[in-house]
Amino acid sequence: MSVTGNLMELKEEAVRAHYTAAAALLAGFDHAPRLGKPRAAAVPQPERSPGIPGRPRFRSTTPGLVTQTAARPGGVRLVERIMAADDDPIPDPVEAAALQALRRALAIALAMGETFAAATPLAELKRANLEGRLASARAGEFGEWLAAEALVVLHVFANATAFLLAPHMTEAAAEVGALEEVLTDNAPLALHGALWELDQILAAQGEAPGRLVPVVAAFAEQLMERAAQRAETAPRTGPFTAASWRVEADGLTLQGFSPARKGRGPALAMAFKKPGEVIGNHIAKYQSLRLAKMLMAYDFSRRLNPFAEIGGFIFTFMGDGAPGTGKTTLIQMMAGLLNDYCTTAGYPFRYANFSIDQIDSYQGKSGQNARAFIDGILDPAVIGFGTIDDIDQVAGKRGDRQSSAGQQEVTAVFMQAFAGAGTVVRGNCTFGMFSNYPENVDDALRQRAGARFLVDGPISREDYIDILALLLGRNHAIPVGDHSLFAAQEIRRAVAESFERHGKPQEAALLRVWERVAAEIGPLDTIARLGAYLKAIQEADPRFTGRAIKNITDAVKVRAMDFELPDEWMEKPDLFLFRPYEEKRDMIRGLMRPITVEMVIQEINRYADSEFRYADNADERAIEGMVREMGRMEAARRRYAEGKG
């Protein structure tokens, strides 16, 4: 057993040594419930004509393992129960994944129980009891050690099951009710009781598609909770809680009676960027920094983020700008921040990007890919960050004949997921849509972006000096000259200046609306006058609907949260991240700022500027394309005439 600090390795050979016993438990055993009440009957057997023998649909290859499928009172046949959900004699991928996870979790639990016994007096007490030499004076101690082992095995089994099923979880959830058959006489009986209860739950839940993994995961969560509650008052559990064990093959760390959390999907491979490596893009960078910290306020037990409850959480945003202005760098920066924060806190983090290569020629497949992407990021057991790069290519514009059926499917899925009737914003994830040509994105989908990040890259002279110095690196002796490196990137000052610029519109068409309204009604200093300005914008651009107003007010609420959670709160999770939900909510409220007229005006102009910019760009690009085509036709006619002459 290798030791690093108090982290000990649970050897793979020790786990695999229990595979046969684990498979036998899943294949079948008898159990008479002591505390629980049956929820369903035994596995039903199909009727057969006389003379036709019944054969099991699953035959174990383990020598000596009973494979009869006849159901007996009290019989637990989990393999049969799981495969009885459909008529296919071959397990589908979900059934196979569930069975593999259960077998692996049982083997890990049995190995952990064996390790616990070997590290305590329990192993010797078991030998003495088996040989009939256990002193009566130690019977009480023996019972306490057996109960402790049972709790360890139950919790590890449930913990490992939930951990191993994590990659197969979706947004679907299940309720299994309170568990009753939680036995602690000894480890084998404890597992029998738990598996009997799981068998009853699966039978009672029916055979609805997609229910298997959520039901098993919900059972595991309940069993973990019950075992942890019992362990709070149980004696002899100290040797288990005092150390941590690592199952390297699965990446599973067992830390007492605390649940292990698993990030869904492969390890994140990305060239992360630090905030100092993002030059310009002041507002986009600032909002990305704050959003990363907002996500970390998510409470896994309540499955809710205080920012989502109070207001000001950014669920969806759109970053747009010309090619080469830094959209990819912003993604790398935000993903890097979240990865570091989650690593420090021990939270699972999931990043995924949906790109053009996930558009499939098969009907319905593109929509399935988009749904799987959405479900993976929405998963309430992780901190999620999903990006759709070049969304103008990925999602089709409705009515555009050049869009493929797959692109239209993706648009429908994203619209429903981002602001549909069933959309639930828990505050554990955010979606970023990025595009060089946002005017080509479907209007309704674009308006589902609650925030707008203008990614305009370096703008000022200072920005260009800073980015040149940054990219040149240190392998030179060129003097900087009359310039204070990166002083212009000081985020607070740069952001304040950027917001102040939106005190008046930036786009010419919107500026004309602003000046006309100001001349008619005067300063925009009341809600009535602000509403009149919004109506004037709608008259100039009919796409400026109620959803635009909602996005603006959400952005104003974000401005009310115009504070950064202290870095110390991310570096020392006990200061904030690990506090109870109510405490975190109260700490956030204590930092909030009041909403001002200036904030509202700036956010109206920021949002409206982006919509007018998209419209102007679309018209300008269309005109430029027509002019180029006319020029080509004119040149072709001239060349043709010269050739004939």
Alpha-carbon distances of 164 from 102, 127, 532, rounded to whole Å: 8, 33, 56
The band of 609, judged by pLDDT with boundaries at 50, 70 and 90, is confident
Mean pLDDT of 94-123: 93
Question: From residue 432, how far is each of 285, 555, 565 by CA, in Å?
Answer: 13, 15, 21
The DSSP secondary-structure symbol of 301 reads T
The reported pLDDT for the residue numbered 74 is 53
| Confidence check: pLDDT of 445 > 80 | yes
How do residues 278-288 score in pLDDT, each as one tens digit?
776 677 788 88
Output the pLDDT for position 87: 65
pLDDT of res. 53:
43
Convert the pLDDT of each residue in 124-174 to its tens digit. 999 999 998 989 899 999 999 999 999 999 999 999 999 898 877 765 667
Averaged pLDDT, 563-584: 84
* Mean pLDDT computed over 591-604: 86
Token reading at 411: 């648009």
Average pLDDT, the chain: 82
DSSP 3-state assignment of 453? strand
pLDDT of 43 higher than 50: no
Highest average pLDDT, of 74-88, 382-396, 397-411, comes from 382-396
Q: pLDDT for 446-467, tens place per residue?
A: 888 887 777 777 777 887 887 7
Contacts of residue 212, Cβ cutoff 8 Å, sequence gap at least 6: 82, 85, 94, 95, 98, 202
315 to 394, 430, 467, 496, 585: CA distances (angstroms): 20, 5, 31, 23, 18
Query: Do you know the residue count of the chain?
Result: 645
Retrieve residue 80's tokens. Answer: 């049969």
Q: What are phi and psi of 69, to 5 degrees?
A: -105, 5
pLDDT score at 326: 75
Q: Which pLDDT value is given to residue 110?
A: 96
Residue partners of 225: CB distance under 8 A and separation at least 6: none
- d(Cα 81, Cα 27) in Å, to the nearest integer? 10
Q: Are 67 and 110 in contact (CB under 8 A)?
A: no
- In this prediction, residue 365 carries a pLDDT of 83
Contact in structure between 30 and 75 (CB atoms under 8 Å) = yes
CA distances from 176 to 75, 102, 148, 361, 575 (A): 21, 17, 25, 40, 34
Task: Provide the pLDDT confidence category of residue 619 given band limits of 50, 70 and 90.
Answer: low
CA distances from 629 to 36, 315, 364, 620, 633 (A): 78, 41, 37, 14, 6
Task: Give, as one character, the DSSP assignment of residue 317.
Answer: E
Is residue 533 pLDDT above 80, yes or no?
yes
DSSP codes, 347-402: --EEEEEE-GGG--SSTTHHHHHHHHHHHHHH-TTSEEEEEEETHHHHSPPTT-TT
Question: How many angstroms separate the CA atoms of 295 and 282, rounded?
Answer: 20
pLDDT, tens digit, 9 for 90 and up, residues 163-222: 898 877 765 667 788 898 899 999 999 999 999 999 999 888 755 556 788 889 889 989
- 69 pLDDT band, cuts 50/70/90, is very low
Is residue 299 helix, strand or coil? strand
Q: What is the DSSP letter of 304?
A: B
Among all chains, which residue has been given the structure tokens 């760098």? 329
For residue 316 the two structure tokens come to: 């969806």
**Claim: this prediction has a pTM higher than 0.75:** no
> How far apart are the C-alpha atoms of 469 and 83, rounded to whole Å?
63
Using one digit for the tens of pLDDT, what is the confidence trace for 240-284? 988 888 898 888 888 888 887 654 444 455 566 666 667 766 777
Give the chain's domains with CATH numbers. Answer: 3-255 (no CATH), 275-612 (3.40.50.300)
The letter for the amino acid at 251 is G
What is the C-alpha separation between 191 and 181, in angstroms, rounded? 10
Annotate 154-166 with b (16+ C-beta within 10 A) or e (fewer).
bbbbbbbbbbbbb
pLDDT of residue 618 exceeding 60: no
Residue 518 half-sphere exposure toward CB, CA atoms < 13 A: 11
Rounded average pLDDT over 397-424: 86
